[in-house]
Amino acid sequence: MAIVKGPLFSMEARGKIADCMVHFPWKGRAVVRRWLKPTNPRASGQQLIRQKLATLGKAAGAMTTPCTALPNGCANIVAIKALTPAAQIWNAYLVKKGMENMKLDASYVAEISAIVSSADVIDVWAQCATELGFADLTGDQYATTIPAVDQLAMAAWAAYKMELSDATNIYSVHPCNWVTDVISQFATNFTEVY
């Protein structure tokens, strides 16, 4: 990467020139580099990672529902913001913690199925996911379909990994051991205060 001063006889240049070079500011300096055509590989592994990231993005979106009692967001957002390191934003921290141990597909399938496979609670997970507006992730850009119930379970996994705290201390227990009341409280924390 070349460092240039006054590129193109100006004090600043930004953007692409033909399909040859790109000018942009970087760390306060004007730089120029060779233009590279962006690629978007559609390997199944990459699609699975994108799908997991989209799942956590949907969870973050469900938490941003306006809450009149707390102008900073729902109870889950306030708790996540309290735990988020200073150099990160809360939704990036949610994704980071949610993706721990979930990058490998085998780990993802094992964790999610452990959380939602119990016949006693599967209906509660599904009902809560529907009430929060989760929909199945499906389409060309995804390798497989991720049901709405699995998306909510992945959000629960992220809350557990972040060791969120609330008045009932539900997040100290692995989500596969949550009973119906705990699952309902987790869903309630998406839209209400503690």
Q: What is the pLDDT of residues 125-138, one digit of tens each?
A: 999 888 888 888 88
The larger pLDDT score, comparing residue 1 to residue 26, is at 26
Q: What is the pLDDT of residues 103-117, one digit of tens each?
A: 777 888 888 888 888
- Residue 108 CA to residue 133 CA, distance in Å, equals 22
Tell me what the mean pLDDT of segment 161-180 comes to: 78
- Residue 8 CA to residue 13 CA, distance in Å, equals 7
Rg (Cα) of the chain, in Å, rounded? 21
Tell me what the mean pLDDT of segment 75-95 comes to: 84
Q: What ranges do the domains of the chain cover?
A: 2-34, 44-188
- What beta strand segments (E) does 9-120 contain? 15-17, 21-26, 29-34
pLDDT of residue 58: 81
Total Cβ atoms within 10 A of residue 191:
17
Instruction: Kindly state the helix (H) or strand (E) to which residue 76 belongs, with its residue range.
Output: helix 75-83
pLDDT of residue 168: 62
Tell me what the mean pLDDT of segment 131-150 comes to: 81
Predicted model pTM: 0.71
pLDDT of residue 7: 57
